[in-house]
Chains A and B, each alone.
Chain A
C-alpha cells in the first residue's frame, strides 16, 4: 500500500516538475504527504502546482502512469517495493523511487551483486583515462559490474572499458534515465541501454542540473562495494562519491599521482587518508578478491617498445628517441601491439602503454 502511495507522490511530483523526496521526509512519508489536506500543504510551503497534482493523484489510476513510463522504456520502482535496490536503502535519504532503463531494467531492475564504482575527473589526462579503461575492462571481465556516472573523462572511460570487455555496467545519471547527457557520451549511453542498466532518481525527461550531480554521486557510492577514484583534483565531485562511500562503509580506492600535481591532489589526499592504492590489475584483484590477470608477455622483440610507451604518452618520433631506433621502423610493430591490446592511442594520436610490459618487477 505504501509503495502505491509513493508511486502516486512520484507521479504527481513528476507532473509538477518537483523533486518530492525531501518533502516526503519532512511530512513523515509518502502516504502522509498524499493524505495531507490542502491547508497543511500550504503551511509547508508546497508549490501550488504540486498541491493540485497531489490532490489529483489520490484518485488517479496509477497503472496509467506505469504504462506511460513503460512506453518510454522506463521502469519505476518505489522505495517500499520489494524490487527496490536494497543497497540504496542503506542511504540516509534513499530516493522515493528509482527510474531504470535499459536491457536490465526489469522489472525488477537487475541490480548487480558485486560492483565497483570507477569515478574521476572529467578532464583527466590520457594515462589516467587509459588506466581507467583498462581497470574497468579487467573488473567487468572478472564478473564485477562497473558503476559510474556517464560523465566525460574517467566515467566514460570506465563504462567503455566494461562495454569492451563485454561485462556489466550501470550508469547512474543526474538527469532522466532517457536523457543522454553529456551529448558527447550519447553513444555510450545508447550502448549501455542496449546491454546494461541506466538508473536515476529523476523521472524521464528531467534535464541535467548542477545540483543533481552531487546527489547522484550518493547512489553510485551506495550501489558499489568499492569506489575507485582514478584521477581527481582537490574538491572534485569524485571526492563527494568517496565521502559517501566512507559514510556507507564501502572501500575507497585511489590511483596515485605525481607528488604535488594539482591534477592528482584529490586522489593523493585520499591515499594519505588511508585509501587503498591501485596501480594495476593485480592491485585491484587483491582488493576485490578476484583472480589476478594472467601474466601475458608481449612478443620479445616488441617488449622494449611497450616499455618505452609506458614512460608516458608519446608520438612515434619520441618513442624512437627513447629506444634509440629509427622511427620509420617502429610503425608496423606499434600497429601489431595496438591490435594485441598492449598499447593504445590517445585523442592526439600519441601511443601509450595499456598493460605493463611484464619485464618490470611485480609489486
Chain B
C-alpha cells in the first residue's frame, strides 16, 4: 500500500486528506472510496490519462483508492496529483517513502500537466502544520503557496516533472518572489469636486471603521466617493495580506501568480442573492468576506432583496460569517467597512432644489421601508450627498486625508478618546429633544470618539459630539 497527503478546502481552511492506494490481484478496476463528490470521482479519468500521458504504466489489476478521514464529505479537484503519486508508488514506479514525505495539491490535465487549485495558501499552511517536507503544486500556485512559509514549495510543470523532482533527477521550477505590497492605490479623492460633507463622512468612516450610508440623487457622485475610500485607508499589513489572499484564493478569484496587494473593494450588484453576499452552502466566501479588510459598496441599497439585506445583519455585527451545511459549519472573516448608497426616494429627486419629486407619499415610504430598522442601525454614519454645484472646488488629495486617518487610528487603537461631561450632556439633550434611540445614542458616542481622534484630541468634547449628531441622517 502507498500513501500521499493532500488537502481539500472547507470554506477558507485546508483540511488534510490522506490518500491510500491499494493493489490486489483481480479484474482491472479503479475505485475511489471515502465520501468523495462528483469532481473527485472524475479524478479517476484524469489520473488514468495523466499517468499514461506521462509515459508511466497504469496498473492492470484491482486498484482501490481511499480518501481518509472517510467520514468527511470532500470536494474539489486538487486530489489528482496526490492520487496519481500514490498510484505510481503502489505500483513501484516511484519510491513509496519519497511520496509519503510530501504533500501534493494540484489538478491533472489529461496530458499530465499540473493545474493550480483554489486555496493554495491555506494548503501550504496546512502542509506546514502536517509536518511534511514539501508541498508539490502547479507553477501557477507557487507564489501564493510560498507565502505560507515553513514548508518547501515544489513547483512542477507536469506529473513526470513532479516524479523526477521526487527522485532527485530534476530541479523544481523557480518560485518567483512575491510582489511587494502596494500603497493605497486606486482612484484618488482629489478627483472629486464638492461633496464636503460626504468626504468628511468617508474620512470618519475610514478612521473609525464605521459603516456609512449616503443618500443622494442619481449622479451626485456617491459611487465615485465610495470607490475612493480604499485610497484613504492604511495599506494592508503583511498579516492582513495573508488573510485577504487566503479568502480570495479560496474563492478562486486570484489570477495565477498574483496576490491581493490592495484593500479589496467589492461592489456587488443589487440583484445579488443572500448566498452571493454572505456565502453559500458549498462554503464559498460571499461578498462580505471577499471585502474583508476592505470596503463592501452596496449601491441602490433598497433595491437589494430583503433576505439578502437581512442576511447581512449578523456578519456586520460580528464581523464574521457563520456558514452551516449538513456536514459541519465554517466561520469566515468579514471585517469590512460597508458603504451603502441610496436615492432619497424612488425617483431620486426629493430634496433637490431644482427638480420636483414625483413620488407619492406611499411609494416613498415603501421605498424607505425596504431597509429594516435593525439593518439601518448598523450604519453609524449617515450623510446626504446632494448634487454638487458645477463650480465646486476639487478637494484634498487622498494622501493628506490618509495621513489624518492613520494618526486617528493610532489614538483609537490606544483605547480612543473618552467622552467629556459636556459631550455627554449634549447627547442626553439630543435623546430628549430629537427622539434619539438608545442605539442612535451609541452610534453618536462611537462617531464622536472617532471625530475627536481625527482632531488629535484625547477627549471627545461638546464640539465633537455636535458634529457626530449631524451624521445621524434624516431617518434619525
Q: Which residues of A contact B (CB under 8 A)?
A: 122-123, 152, 184, 312-318, 320-321, 326-328, 331-336, 338-339, 341, 345-350
Which residue of A315, A341, A349 is within 8 Å of B473 (Cβ)? A349
User: Are A332 and B463 in contact, with the CB atoms below 8 A?
Assistant: yes
Interface segment among B75-83, B140-148, B427-435: the answer is: B427-435
User: Are A328 and B430 in contact, with the CB atoms below 8 A?
Assistant: no
User: Are A318 and B467 in contact, with the CB atoms below 8 A?
Assistant: no
CB nearest neighbor in A for B471:
A331
A residues within 8 A CB of B353?
Answer: 312, 314, 318
Does B52 sit at the interface, judged by CB under 8 A? Answer: no
Q: A123-B361, A184-B365, A314-B353 are in contact. Are A332 and B474 (CB under 8 A)?
A: no
Interface residues of B in 228-251 (CB under 8 A from A): none
Q: Mark B339-372, 1 if CB is under 8 A from A, else 0.
A: 0000011000011010000000100010000000
Interface residues of B in 242-282 (CB under 8 A from A): none
Q: Which residues of B contact A (CB under 8 A)?
A: 194-197, 200, 215, 344-345, 350-351, 353, 361, 365, 384, 386, 388-389, 426, 429-430, 433-434, 463-464, 466-467, 469-471, 473-474
Give the CA-CA distance A318 to B471 in the complex, in Å: 17
A residues within 8 A CB of B433?
Answer: 338-339, 341
User: Are B350 and A331 in contact, with the CB atoms below 8 A?
Assistant: no
> How close is B272's CB to chain A, nearest CB, in angstroms?
27
User: Are A348 and B389 in contact, with the CB atoms below 8 A?
Assistant: no
Q: A123-B361, A317-B196, A331-B197 are in contact. Are A345 and B389 (CB under 8 A)?
A: no
CB nearest neighbor in B for A344:
B434
Give the CA-CA distance A328 to B469 in the complex, in Å: 14
Give the CA-CA distance A333 to B467 in the complex, in Å: 8
Which residue of B197, B344, B429 is within 8 Å of A327 (Cβ)? B197
Which residue of B345, B365, B434, B467 is within 8 Å of A332 (Cβ)? B467
Give the CA-CA distance A318 to B197 in the complex, in Å: 11
Give the CA-CA distance A317 to B201 in the complex, in Å: 14
CB nearest neighbor in B for A317:
B386
Q: A335-B469, A339-B426 are in contact. Are A347 and B474 (CB under 8 A)?
A: yes
> How close is A199's CB to chain B, nearest CB, in angstroms?
25
A residues within 8 A CB of B429?
Answer: 339
Which residue of B384, B386, B434 is within 8 Å of A339 (Cβ)? B434
User: Are B466 and A331 in contact, with the CB atoms below 8 A?
Assistant: yes
User: Are A336 and B200 in contact, with the CB atoms below 8 A?
Assistant: no
Give the CA-CA distance A339 to B466 in the complex, in Å: 9
User: Are B474 and A349 in contact, with the CB atoms below 8 A?
Assistant: yes
A residues within 8 A CB of B430?
Answer: 335, 339
B residues within 8 A CB of A123?
Answer: 361
User: Are A349 and B200 in contact, with the CB atoms below 8 A?
Assistant: no
Give the CA-CA distance A317 to B197 in the complex, in Å: 7
User: Are A348 and B197 in contact, with the CB atoms below 8 A?
Assistant: no
A residues within 8 A CB of B426?
Answer: 336, 339
> How close is A308's CB to chain B, nearest CB, in angstroms?
14
B residues within 8 A CB of A320?
Answer: 196
A residues within 8 A CB of B474?
Answer: 345-349
Beyond A312-B353, A314-B353, A348-B345, 6 additional contacts (C-beta under 8 Å) are A123-B361, A313-B351, A328-B196, A335-B467, A341-B433, A348-B351
Give the CA-CA distance A320 to B389 in the complex, in Å: 12
The 10 closest A-B pairs by CB, nearest first: A348-B351, A349-B474, A332-B466, A331-B470, A327-B196, A335-B466, A335-B469, A349-B384, A315-B386, A332-B467
User: Are A122 and B386 in contact, with the CB atoms below 8 A?
Assistant: no
Which residue of A326, A338, A349 is within 8 Å of B351 (Cβ)? A349
A residues within 8 A CB of B345?
Answer: 348
CB nearest neighbor in A for B470:
A331
User: Are A348 and B196 in contact, with the CB atoms below 8 A?
Assistant: no
> How close is B13's CB to chain A, nearest CB, in angstroms?
44
B residues within 8 A CB of A332?
Answer: 463-464, 466-467, 470
Interface centre among A122, A123, A312, A349 (most CB of B within 10 A): A349
B residues within 8 A CB of A346?
Answer: 351, 474
Interface centre among B345, B353, B466 (most CB of A within 10 A): B466
A residues within 8 A CB of B384?
Answer: 315-316, 348-350
16 contacts between A and B (CB under 8 A): A122-B361, A184-B365, A313-B351, A327-B197, A336-B426, A338-B433, A338-B469, A339-B426, A339-B429, A345-B474, A347-B350, A348-B351, A349-B215, A349-B351, A349-B473, A350-B384
Give the CA-CA distance A63 to B5 in the complex, in Å: 88
B residues within 8 A CB of A348?
Answer: 215, 344-345, 350-351, 384, 474
